Each structure stands twice: as structure tokens, then as C-alpha cells.
Structure 1
């Protein structure tokens, strides 16, 4: 584990590469395989993009530890929010609501409702958020997304707290 705290900027760059690869695989599943993302999947994508971009920015400037740590803290926040969203979607997949409707898409909710009303609608889930269209080793996309966000969260915290000063 020395590579995490001996070279935290390299760790941030590796997190960026992981996020880019995951986004590429998500685009493959959407555009080649034909899976349409649900509202919670869209939120997870935005969190993944935010973690990746913040990790990239934090890894670029070599001068101070404060620079990369501030961006790493922001990435921790987005990784935590992404893990929460993925966990909620996994819960909905394991225990689907009794009356599931397809509901509106993410952009339709944002365009037609204020953000204070559309965010709870996203986390309530819809019929398409409970569907499991793809699995790998018994886990759905939401399950693997939760694992990835949790790993990012832990690695970022280790890099922040254990970095050599």
C-alpha cells in the first residue's frame, strides 16, 4: 500500500484512468449493447465524471500538497454520493417497489420540475431503475458501481491521511 501514500498524485491519475475506463464501458453498454440508463444511472455517471475530473486536476499541479488534497476531498464527496446512489439502486433492485412505473427520464424531470422536487423523484426510483439488464459475476451494474465508488472513497481517504508530508 506504499504506492498510495508515497505518490498520491500518481494515485489520483490512476483513479482518473479508472473513471475514464468505466465511462467508456458505460458508453459501450449504452451505444453498442443498447442498454438505456435510468435516472439513478445518470446520477452515478455524473458522479463518476466528477471523481475522474477532480482526480485529474488534482494530479496535474506538482507544487503543493494543498492543491491535490483539496481536489481529493472534493472527489471523496462525489465518490460518497455515487456510492450512496448505487447502494439505493441496488436496494431497489433487490426489493422492487410494489407498484413500479417507468416514470420520467432524468432530463424530463429536471426540465419540468424544480431541482428540490426532481431530486427526491430520482431517488424514489422507477420501473427502469429496478430492472437488471446486465450482470457480471452475479452483480448488476449498480452493484459493481457501488464497489467502484467505495474503492475510490477508501483509496482517496488513504491518500489524503497517509500522504508523507
Structure 2
């Protein structure tokens, strides 16, 4: 029988691998995450958790899980798109503002500051990775994950 569970597991692994890479960039390469970077991390974690949770549920719920995870990926893509807009318009900044203060007071940021604490500025230009900025890579990955999840949600079980 054909199910979407392998797709959910694969997308979940990819989502957490991308968060792991973000942690590598933060802690090994000293690239401090800005508030929008942290919000993108929340979106990747949401996608991964939804995928793993619904992959563990009965087969009848995998389509719902894929649809919810696709929605989280689309939200993350929107955040990454906004981040790119801010980088293209340096006069606008999300730097030290109420967004950063609010994000850093969420219980997950206080519990896991190494992962969810916003310390950087959105307009900081870091060295590109294979020619693209971090928000560009995030947007690409959110689109890929959303397309996979939409396909899994629309896929018919046989």
C-alpha cells in the first residue's frame, strides 16, 4: 500500500538537519541569528515536529499532517521572503526592537537560548553559502519542503 509516511519522515529529517546547520553557522561560524532567523527556525521545527508526529499516527491522518506541515513551511517561506525584502531595503531593520524582545521572552527561548535566542541584526551581511544568503537558502528549502508536503497531502492512497 502506498502511503505518505516516508515523505513525512524524510521532510522531518531534512527540517531538523537544516536547524542543525543553522546551529553550526551560529556556534562554529559566529553568525548570530536575528529575530527573523529565529522565526524561521521555529517554522523548520514546526514542520519537522508535525511530520514526525503525523508519521507516527495511523495512516488515515498522514494527509492532514502533510497539509499542516505544508502550511508551516509556507509560513516559514513567507518569513524568509520578508527577511529578503528587509535585506534588499537596508533602511528598514528588524534589529533591536519589540520583536526581538518578545521572541527572547518566549519560554522556548528561555529554555533553549542556544537555539531560539535572537542576538543579531537582520541586515547583517554574512559570507554567502554557495553564492546565496542564508534567507535565500531558507526560502528555497521552505519551497521544496512545501511542495513535497503538498504532493503528499494530495496523493491518493491505493
Give the TM-score normalised by structure 1: 0.78
Query: Is the deviation greater in 50-59 or in 132-141?
Result: 132-141
Alignment partner of 1:145 out of 138, 142, 147: 138
Give the deviation of 1:130 after TM superposition.
1.8
Question: How far apart are residue 100 of structure 1 and its match?
Answer: 4.6
Could you tell me which runs of 5 or more consecutive residues in structure 1 were left unpaired when the two chains were aligned. 113-126
8 Å contact kept, 2:64–2:153: no
Q: Which structure: larger Rg?
A: 1
Cα root mean square deviation, aligned: 2.3
Matched, 1:88 2:88: no
Determine the C-alpha separation between the residues in 2 that align with 1:92 and 1:102: 11
Structure 2: unaligned runs, 5 residues or longer = 106-119
Rounded to whole Å, the distance in 2 between the matches of 1:64 and 1:155 is 17
Number of positions where the alignment pairs a residue of Structure 1 with one of Structure 2? 144
5 Å matches for 1:3-14?
A: 6-14=2-10
Distance 1:98 1:20 in 2: 33
The structure where helix makes up a greater share of residues is 1
Shift of 1:43: 0.5
Aligned pairs for 1:45-64 (under 5 A) are: 45-61=41-57, 63-64=58-59
